[in-house]
Structure 1
């Protein structure tokens, strides 16, 4: 059978945007409430291209009769580190090996922990392996070994993967010449979710896997949750895939949560596998994982395409654009711990359920009005959302919107007519504030806010300015496209 053309891959560039949760902090963890999440111009990039082997003998070791597929991940923003993955499959055994170059401070033989990349690659391999087995058997109408299937669908060439995040994801300012480093504090724009989404989409395009967006969401949600060790809301993953959305937690049903949790455990267990495993075990595990992903992807609550977009044209004149300004405020009080804020608010909610439901219901009404109403009222609704969030923080004795932060936001609104909304992103606290405003250029927007920021930050503030992309989610570019990949570019 002539199969060499099946695994001639073009160079793939996949990107996914960052996010900011304008309204709905804490609420998006629960299925009865919605939040406004914006996709931003800051994007994470994944580049994939083939590593061509020089000779036939180096492609396959005939002595052990193994299929081998190598992935080398480069992270040039963080010291040119390299992580090597090798997927080995023979007639009876399967192995996934990881090797990373040691970095300063690491002991010899110690592997660097990269859970985001590890879980994303393993989740993709499990899904892709079962898909390949099922479809290859259908095509040729007879059973054959997993090793033969993989050699005829993937081929023996390796793949080089380069991961790069736009500098706005890191605490260096939008115009800085600095490079990001692994020790720098991130700006909370969803770089982890964007990495997972861009890497998963890039792998699917590179391997000619048609991956619907709902399947992409479930795969990325599981990979991201496994890396964090908990089930999150998923709004950051959804925003990276679909663009700016009115997000609602899709896995609120208890039976669904149980299935999600069991699938998550399976992924974590496979990531922790050491040594070789029987191919039969690998086949069964991949089938179970694939079936669960497919089942979750068909849930009606996952119909993100039907979620109404936040229409930014309501707040702009014809010659204006919408800009989001993120400003670090941790120098006021040393920053905040988001997990701690969430834990304290959840404790208050458990003891004051009716009071919490009443506040959140009022916030939800204003969120709905932001989406549905005309531009003259949007600013007022954001002010009311902030007042209610501040009240919740006072009741819970949690600094969701501290007084000094509220003063800054009020001053910004009063002194700048082009400001559409202000607030604290996500869980709030002392980490950052956002300003959503309209203007003709980034420079004009920054200049108009300089005096207010300088008053509070003594000229030491760090300001990041981003475009708001209402409908811009994931995107890919495939060079030397084949019929297998052309449809994916429409995602």
Structure 2
């Protein structure tokens, strides 16, 4: 037993990226509409290790194991007892309500249940004994870009620039909102930037636990192997299910999908596969529910996608405050029911604009692949001019094709913004608020800016821009002059990774050594 226990006496660290949905807002909720989601270099980390270093001779008689969850950025440490019969979690910390994290709780429950549902009886018995004796110690860490640090920067007397953000220590303590609601003190909430922290956090915890428990196996030499892909699929299924359970509803799932697989074109799964699990959980043991979910017909679609070469993703935080995606989605659904004819027409036009943008970006990627030197020259030239002067940079057939695709992409983005704004006005919600419109128009009029928009469901979260060449540096400075903080986020097409070291030991978190598993 001591030898087997030693096999589990190690640390497993997994990380998963945040996301930016550049097309597919609202439409992605319904099949077969697609959306383009970009994964970023902002990552959530989960560190899993045994809670106890030594065997305790009386632990064989127990049916509950211990779990400690630590979130250093929120200065929280939460203790749980976990039943290894029903996988129920009982919080034993004093400040129960404040301390609980439903996304981590469901990630733990469903990952452990997946191990029990996957293993044969012999391995299951060994795992059961080991978990009773070792317990779990889980630490979660999110890159600074998931959260707003405007207050921190202003308090230090620093300018609103990426350099000021870079000055902050990695995994800094999180700033809380302290706004009052209806004249009464509301519960403080973490100020976020809209990168999908809950999906990235859930995915990192699931991946770390499944790897720690031996359910999935990632290695640097199996990037294209069947076992590798199957491991990714298992992480995706468990993370999607846990995330939906924690939310209390079945969302589109693009945020979890990008956290697992990285940047891609996404079509959602049929929601019945998880809603049936939500119903079954009332009548069936969790282990059986998870086994059924793992064997279910997951019909989501993924197509490889990333930005064309020499194009860069930038995010800007306007400092107005975030928006509630669930309430905005609810308003759009109510509008669809109240005015089906108009909403269907808007839906159709928005879908066509989304498809057009995707097509133009794919054309640019193909032109870069086939005519690299010409492509590089055109992109570098256009990066120094406003869009109305891009045509002047094309003096032969291939360069004209490149400029045509660039302008086509811009026009498609303008159409997307127009339809999204009209949809928001009809539904009575600020999908592209006037303040964002002014900011985005000014952004798209700058030299070298290809696209600008509100990601996902829109509102007052961070805006995004796609720039050509090195023009992003000038955009960051221009945003700063408009009280918009350019984040340190860029596209990183990788999905979930198993890390080789604790990210806190590295000065630059984006440089953490990792095994690429997508």
TM score, norm. by length of structure 1: 0.77
Q: Deviations over 1:384-430 (max 9, x none)?
A: 211221222233343222233222211211122x2121011121123
Task: Check if 1:50 corresponds to 2:50.
Answer: yes
Distance 1:288 1:220 in 2: 17
Q: Deviations over 1:308-353 (max 9, x none)?
A: 313422xx2xxxx5132222251xxx65433332222111111222
Change in CA separation of 1:161 and 1:422 when aligned onto 2, cut-off 3 Å: same
Change in CA separation of 1:77 and 1:265 when aligned onto 2, cut-off 3 Å: farther
* Contact persistence 2:479–2:486 (CA under 8 A): no
Change in CA separation of 1:49 and 1:70 when aligned onto 2, cut-off 3 Å: same
Partner of 2:427: 396
Distance 1:87 1:344 in 2: 39
Unaligned regions of 5+ residues in structure 1, if any?
140-145, 270-280, 480-487
Q: Deviations over 1:431-475 (max 9, x none)?
A: 3322222344xxx62443433552xx4xx4333131111x31000
Partner of 2:494: 472
Please, which of 260, 264, 269 is the counterpart of residue 274 of structure 2? 260
SS at match of 1:437: strand
Partner of 2:16: 16
Partner of 1:205: 211
* Contact persistence 1:411–1:452 (CA under 8 A): no
Q: Deviations over 1:185-236 (max 9, x none)?
A: 1111001000000000000111111263223222111211111111111110
The structural deviation recorded for 1:100 is 4.6
The within-5 A match list for 1:180-259 is 180-181=174-175, 183-210=189-216, 212-251=231-270, 257=272, 259=273
Please, which of 436, 443, 446 is the counterpart of residue 412 of structure 1? 443
The within-5 A match list for 1:352-367 is 352-367=339-354
Q: How many residues align?
A: 419
Distance 1:38 1:347 in 2: 29
Q: Deviations over 1:220-256 (max 9, x none)?
A: 112111111111111100110111121212115xxxx
Distance 1:303 1:32 in 2: 9
* Contact persistence 2:323–2:460 (CA under 8 A): yes
* Contact persistence 1:100–1:112 (CA under 8 A): no
Partner of 1:272: none
Partner of 1:77: 73
The within-5 A match list for 1:434-445 is 434-440=464-470, 445=472
The within-5 A match list for 1:37-436 is 37-54=37-54, 56=55, 58-61=56-59, 65-66=61-62, 69-79=65-75, 81-89=76-84, 96-102=88-94, 106=95, 112-132=99-119, 135-136=120-121, 148-151=125-128, 154=131, 156-172=133-149, 174-175=165-166, 177=168, 178-181=172-175, 183-210=189-216, 212-251=231-270, 257=272, 259-266=273-280, 285-296=285-296, 298-299=297-298, 301-304=299-302, 307-313=303-309, 316=310, 322-330=312-320, 336-373=323-360, 374-375=363-364, 376=406, 377-416=408-447, 418-436=448-466
* Contact persistence 2:166–2:488 (CA under 8 A): no
Q: Deviations over 1:156-191 (max 9, x none)?
A: 223321100001000016335252145431111001
Change in CA separation of 1:110 and 1:223 when aligned onto 2, cut-off 3 Å: closer
Partner of 2:478: 451
Change in CA separation of 1:159 and 1:449 when aligned onto 2, cut-off 3 Å: closer
The structural deviation recorded for 1:88 is 4.7
Distance 1:341 1:66 in 2: 47
The structural deviation recorded for 1:155 is 6.9
SS at match of 1:35: strand
Distance 1:251 1:110 in 2: 33
* Contact persistence 2:87–2:286 (CA under 8 A): no
The structural deviation recorded for 1:370 is 2.4
Change in CA separation of 1:130 and 1:421 when aligned onto 2, cut-off 3 Å: same
SS at match of 2:41: strand
SS at match of 1:429: coil
Change in CA separation of 1:87 and 1:389 when aligned onto 2, cut-off 3 Å: closer
* Contact persistence 1:222–1:264 (CA under 8 A): no
The structural deviation recorded for 1:372 is 2.6
TM score, norm. by length of structure 2: 0.73
The structural deviation recorded for 1:265 is 4.4
Task: Check if 1:25 corresponds to 2:25.
Answer: yes
Distance 2:97 2:423 in 1: 46
* Contact persistence 2:353–2:413 (CA under 8 A): yes
